[in-house]
Amino acid sequence: MRELLDARRGRKSEQLSVDQLALFAATWQARQLEAEAPDAPSGSDDDDAGVPGAGDAAPRKGGGDRQPLARHLKRERLVHDLAEEEKHCAACQHDLRPIGEECSERYEYIPAQLTVIEDVCKKYACECTVKMATKPPQPIE
């Protein structure tokens, strides 16, 4: 009886099992595959900031940037655009032309599934003005 209690509560019970180590190995391999993927986006330097030996550049110090949301989740893209009458500059009377877009991601929880909603705000500009569409108000900005 004493040996059984020691096995459950003693130092041997605090050792890592092979199954626990396999979880870390699987995560490490997944990050290595993402880093080596040829179609990885150019802004993926933040993914490897905490992985030793990943990437040749030194990690950024003091970076408060958040990690990108998990890639395996289903994604939905919502595009917020200016109204047609707003795509015209009131000052110089020229039509605004698209110059880019700003993207932000957020989680949306639907029972039994998790979706990433990507809000895209279109930007337009002319010689004197830059306008950007606004996204709807969020519960937490």
Q: Identify the CA nearest to 78 among candidates 54, 103, 60, 55.
A: 103
Map out the domains of the chain as residue ranges. 1-60, 70-141
Share of the chain above pLDDT 70, in %: 70
**For residue 10, what pLDDT band results from cuts at 50, 70 and 90?**
low
> Mind listing the pLDDT tens digit for each residue in 18-37?
676 777 777 878 888 877 76
The DSSP element (H or E) to which 101 belongs, if any, is strand 97-110
| Residue 88 DSSP one-character state | B
**For residue 40, what pLDDT band results from cuts at 50, 70 and 90?**
very low
Is it the case that residue 117 has pLDDT exceeding 50? Answer: yes
First to last CA, the chain: 58
